[in-house]
A and B are shown apart, each in its own frame.
Chain A
Amino acid sequence: MLYDIFVDPFVQMYQMPDFFLQVLWEGFVAGILYALIALGFVLIFKASGVFNFAQGIMVVFAGLTLVGLHENGVPAFVALGLTIVVMGVLAYGIERVVMRPLVNQPDIILLMATIGLTYFLIGFGEFIFGGEPKRMIAEELWLPTGSTAFEFGERGLVILQHIDIAAAVIAIIMVAALGIFFNKTRIGRALRAVADDHQAALSVGISLNQIWAIVWFAAGLVALATGIMWGARSDVSFALEIVAFKALPVLILGGFTSIPGAIIGGLIIGFGEKIGELYWGGLVGGGIESWLAYIIALIFLLFRPQGLFGEKIIERV
């Protein structure tokens, strides 16, 4: 028993290095996708303090809109453009209808509102585009779909999917672009000001409403990118929503407000759950992926309640 837990997995890693590499790669790709969803959460939480449960649904909704439009005869890139417009309208609508009237409500009310939004978007998306899973139009968007295998020692093989590589590249571009946007533009500065202190930002003439709409739009774009990547791995349908729950432990690890935290947290969870599942999961019947991420996050939280990158909390009275 002890052997199975403490020795055997490492022996396996050593004996089949190609497989171990493959596991790490899968963990990396999963981690990137979790990080992208978490990134959407972080953007919104930073700017408005809203824990946006609907981020997972926005991912599906964006993907579904893109594919749905294409299915109805819209050329791929036009559909992409239209989807961006739709996400913009959605962001504006959410700001107008949900966020503005609910400003200054307690966290839990805002959280519930985003869960309400989740329900609404599920119904709305399926109402418009139908409920069956749809194939992502990866090829039409000029995304690579093949795979490359690397020989590795004797009989060894590491297979890299091109789409996964593309996902990683796009994620990096996305984060870099957001970084530039935050640090170099006027709106970015205003956004950081809002994140720091709403009242103070208001008093220097920054429009909160405008910032919120922009942030929701940015989160919508991140969602769209995530939706395309994830959709290319498995089809687009609302079943993906559940996978989005994986982004929550990522947030806990990384802290609710840290963009680097989201990315590193995503990678930790991605690696952790794949390695855990493949080398230790078998001991308890497998499927531990569904909760391992949460347990990792929970244990972590007990030692560092503020997350990886959060600041130490000093309680005051």
Chain B
Amino acid sequence: MKHLKTLALGTAVALGVSLGGVTPQVAQAEDANYVPLLTYRTGPFAGSGIHIANGMADYLHMLNERDGGIGGVKLAIEECETGYNAQKGVECYEATKGKNALVYNPYSTGITLQLIPKASVDKIPVLSMGYGLSAAADGNTFPWVFNVPDTYWDGASVVIKYIGQQEGGLENLKGKKIGYIFLDAGYGREPIPLLEQLAEKHGFELLKYAVPGKEMQNQSSQWLNVRRDRPDYMIMWGWGAMNPTAIKEAVKIRYPMDKFIGVWWSAGEDDAAAGGAQAKGYKALNFSGVGMDFPALQDIKKLVVDAGKSPTDVESMGGTLYNRGVLNSVIIAEGIRAAQEKTGKKVITGEDMRIGLESLNLDEARLAEIGLAGFAHPMKVTCEDHSGSHPVFIQEWDGEKFVKVTDWIEPMTDTVRPLLEAAAKEYAEKNAPWPERTEPCAN
């Protein structure tokens, strides 16, 4: 016992001493563009997070392998585990921002919200692709935040539009009940203002079912409520372990699955598969291609995954979330490329990256050029509009895989855009004094 105590004392002292040496090296290769990836492969949201993380990392690694980086400059890629925890996310941010980080993709609306005020101060853009603060689409208020290709409000409007189509016109929504089940966090609450607005406008009743983050896997009460209320349609804003549980519960109460529509984050294959055969008919929004029939994805498989340079499971490649991660990295890569073109520099900074993202123009030709023809809807960012409100489509689970069942559906931009601008204004007021945009428009 006595020796143990000495050992403990020794350990404590050693830990104390080594403290001094911890500060992470800021030394970074001068000739690389540094892209930190805030990912989560642990915790309750790992089920979704792992696929995203793999997709993001693999595409960037593939660029390094195949093209030697972007514009001849290698990418330095570093993952930092956040566990979907805002606190750890900020920690990752603080630890990596000093290494000339180009852009941050928090993959958590919570972390995004924390980084938004920091972005303009540290001059590092935040790319929240299809998540985060919807109002950030207003480039005049949020020059450093990008949420291309769509905001949650765009997504919610597409769902309502689709339901309208099913019912034979938006006017037929009058008197209908539409249920909204959501993760009770910044993420799930984000679309509520828009849905409420649309409910008022089109005369349907919006029923809200909140799922607390820590009770994600125990949703029986929420679904019992659904059973009692019998809504005509269900919309879901779920993530991580919430998705499969919700789909299972829906099956359990025998909710008609073809009237159950998830957001693009509730579109994982694993999520739907959890419901078994009865989950057939479940629908979800999507804006990135499904499957492996893209040259770029084949390159990833060949150069990265098969070469053993990635933890990715080959079978999960081509899945909705994996491909979503790839699309995220495509936007990063195209942003870097645009920045290199605009500034003429090869090794760029966060400020250059902001310019690059702001002049992002991913048209069909370009998509084809990078081996991803038809992988996503062409997307374009302007100085005013950092989201672009691009069309999305709806996919349906056929018991084995997701199948695209609609064409590209345009969001209700005319409704959404004014609301976005109003929300941006409100955000700036609430967080007064919010910095005015001083960055010139490079386009």
A residues with a Cβ closer than 8 A to B are: 16, 19, 22-23, 26, 30, 126, 130-133, 135, 145, 147, 149, 159, 161, 233-235, 237-240, 242-243, 273-274, 277-278, 281-282, 285-287, 289-290
Report the separation of the CA atoms of residues A132 and B253 in the bound assembly, to the nearest whole angstrom: 26
CB interface residues, B 243-262, toward A, < 8 Å:
244-245, 248, 252-254
7 smallest CB-CB distances across A and B, nearest first, come from A239-B44, A131-B46, A234-B217, A242-B214, A132-B47, A133-B47, A234-B245
Number of A-B contacts (CB under 8 A): 101
Report the separation of the CA atoms of residues A237 and B42 in the bound assembly, to the nearest whole angstrom: 10
CB interface residues, B 201-258, toward A, < 8 Å:
209-210, 212, 214-221, 224-225, 227-228, 240-241, 244-245, 248, 252-254
Report the separation of the CA atoms of residues A3 and B43 in the bound assembly, to the nearest whole angstrom: 43
Given contacts A30-B218, A30-B220, A289-B218, 4 further A-B contacts (CB under 8 A): A131-B41, A235-B244, A286-B209, A286-B225
Report the separation of the CA atoms of residues A112 and B416 in the bound assembly, to the nearest whole angstrom: 51
Most buried by B among A16, A240, A285: A240
* A contact residues around B362 at 8 Å (CB): none
- Whether B50 is near chain A, meaning CB under 8 Å from some CB there, is yes
Report the separation of the CA atoms of residues A149 and B252 in the bound assembly, to the nearest whole angstrom: 10
Report the separation of the CA atoms of residues A289 and B212 in the bound assembly, to the nearest whole angstrom: 10
* B contact residues around A243 at 8 Å (CB): 215, 217-218
Report the separation of the CA atoms of residues A142 and B244 in the bound assembly, to the nearest whole angstrom: 22
Are A238 and B214 touching (Cβ within 8 A)? no
* B contact residues around A286 at 8 Å (CB): 209-210, 225
Report the separation of the CA atoms of residues A3 and B248 in the bound assembly, to the nearest whole angstrom: 35
Report the separation of the CA atoms of residues A242 and B43 in the bound assembly, to the nearest whole angstrom: 12
Are B215 and A16 touching (Cβ within 8 A)? no
Are A281 and B245 touching (Cβ within 8 A)? no
Report the separation of the CA atoms of residues A286 and B210 in the bound assembly, to the nearest whole angstrom: 8
> Which of B42, B210, B245 is A131 in contact with, Cβ under 8 Å?
B42
- State whether A235 and B274 are in contact (beta carbons under 8 Å apart), knowing that A132-B47, A290-B212 are contacts in the complex: yes
Sampled A-B contacts (11; CB under 8 Å): A22-B224, A132-B46, A133-B47, A159-B252, A235-B244, A237-B44, A239-B241, A274-B220, A274-B224, A285-B210, A290-B212
- Whether B184 is near chain A, meaning CB under 8 Å from some CB there, is yes
* B contact residues around A242 at 8 Å (CB): 214-215
Report the separation of the CA atoms of residues A285 and B222 in the bound assembly, to the nearest whole angstrom: 12
Are A233 and B212 touching (Cβ within 8 A)? no
> Which of A159, A238, A282, A289 is B43 in contact with, Cβ under 8 Å?
A238
Are B220 and A26 touching (Cβ within 8 A)? yes
- State whether A26 and B241 are in contact (beta carbons under 8 Å apart), knowing that A238-B44, A239-B44 are contacts in the complex: no
Are A159 and B44 touching (Cβ within 8 A)? no
Q: How many Å from the CB of A233 to the closest CB on chain B?
A: 7
Report the separation of the CA atoms of residues A133 and B246 in the bound assembly, to the nearest whole angstrom: 14
Are A287 and B42 touching (Cβ within 8 A)? no
Report the separation of the CA atoms of residues A233 and B270 in the bound assembly, to the nearest whole angstrom: 15
* A contact residues around B244 at 8 Å (CB): 133, 135, 234-235
- State whether A147 and B50 are in contact (beta carbons under 8 Å apart), knowing that A126-B42, A242-B214, A287-B212 are contacts in the complex: no
Most buried by A among B46, B216, B220: B220
Classify chain B: how many residues form its interface, as a range. Answer: 35 or more
> Which of A30, A149, A273, A290 is B214 in contact with, Cβ under 8 Å?
A290
Q: Which residue of B lies closest to A26 (CB)?
A: B220
Are B50 and A132 touching (Cβ within 8 A)? yes
* A contact residues around B46 at 8 Å (CB): 126, 130-133, 237
Q: Which residue of B lies closest to A163 (CB)?
A: B252
Q: Which residue of A lies closest to B214 (CB)?
A: A242
* B contact residues around A126 at 8 Å (CB): 42, 46
CB interface residues, B 365-403, toward A, < 8 Å:
none
> Which of A130, A135, A161, A285 is B252 in contact with, Cβ under 8 Å?
A161
Q: How many Å from the CB of B230 to the closest CB on chain A?
A: 10
Most buried by A among B44, B210, B240, B245: B44
Are A278 and B225 touching (Cβ within 8 A)? yes
Q: Which residue of A lies closest to B48 (CB)?
A: A132
Are B225 and A239 touching (Cβ within 8 A)? no
* B contact residues around A235 at 8 Å (CB): 47, 217, 241, 244-245, 274
> Which of B210, B214, B241, B276 is A234 in contact with, Cβ under 8 Å?
B241
Q: How many Å from the CB of B237 to the closest CB on chain A?
A: 15
Are A19 and B228 touching (Cβ within 8 A)? yes
Are B252 and A147 touching (Cβ within 8 A)? yes
Are A289 and B221 touching (Cβ within 8 A)? yes
Q: How many Å from the CB of B390 to the closest CB on chain A?
A: 29
* B contact residues around A161 at 8 Å (CB): 252
* A contact residues around B42 at 8 Å (CB): 126, 131
* B contact residues around A238 at 8 Å (CB): 43-44
Are B221 and A159 touching (Cβ within 8 A)? no
* B contact residues around A282 at 8 Å (CB): 225
- State whether A234 and B248 are in contact (beta carbons under 8 Å apart), knowing that A278-B221, A289-B221 are contacts in the complex: yes
Are A287 and B218 touching (Cβ within 8 A)? no
Are B221 and A277 touching (Cβ within 8 A)? yes
Are A278 and B215 touching (Cβ within 8 A)? no
Report the separation of the CA atoms of residues A281 and B218 in the bound assembly, to the nearest whole angstrom: 16
Q: How many Å from the CB of A17 to the closest CB on chain B?
A: 12
Are B248 and A23 touching (Cβ within 8 A)? no
> Which of B47, B221, B252 is A237 in contact with, Cβ under 8 Å?
B47
Are B224 and A239 touching (Cβ within 8 A)? no
Report the separation of the CA atoms of residues A238 and B43 in the bound assembly, to the nearest whole angstrom: 7
Are A278 and B224 touching (Cβ within 8 A)? yes
